Amino acid sequence: MRGPSSKVLELRKVLSLIITRLRERERPPSVFAQLASDADKKPATRVDVMVASIKDAIRPVNSPKPDTHLASENEHEDIAGGYTTDETLGLMTQLRDTLLMARKHGWELLPSK
């Protein structure tokens, strides 16, 4: 019985590297840590909630309208503490592409026993 071709062996090495990088990537902050920090904050009163909801609607006549798209991106960064999913997305895309290439060529990267 013939062993796997050199292309399959190289693709297995690439697959191993991608999985290792996925395992060692930066992880998101714990959900429980966020809940604990939210619990430590002062509870909002009804007036606080009302003021926050209409804050952007009330502004001077000549004042420019705030850029809501930019504001929402900044809020997302503040909530996540600077963590982004870009690295994970890139690695998952590489993983998908590697597996699709192997499937297209009919190569068995993960042989069944």
Instruction: For residues 47 and 92, state if they share a domain.
Output: no
pTM listed for this prediction: 0.55
pLDDT value for 82: 73
- Asked if 45 and 17 sit in the same domain, the reply is no
How many structural domains does the chain have? Answer: 2
Looking at the structure, tell me whether residues 78 and 57 fall in a common domain.
yes
Give the range of the structural domain holding residue 73, as residue numbers without chain letter.
Answer: 29-83
List pLDDT tens digits, range 77-107.
444 457 788 999 999 999 999 999 999 999 8
Phi, psi of 56 (to 5 degrees): -80, -20
- Residues 49-75: pLDDT tens digits? 666 767 666 655 566 655 555 555 554
**Orientation of helix 86-105 relative to helix 6-24, angle to 10°:** 160
Clarify whether residues 33 and 71 are in a common domain: yes
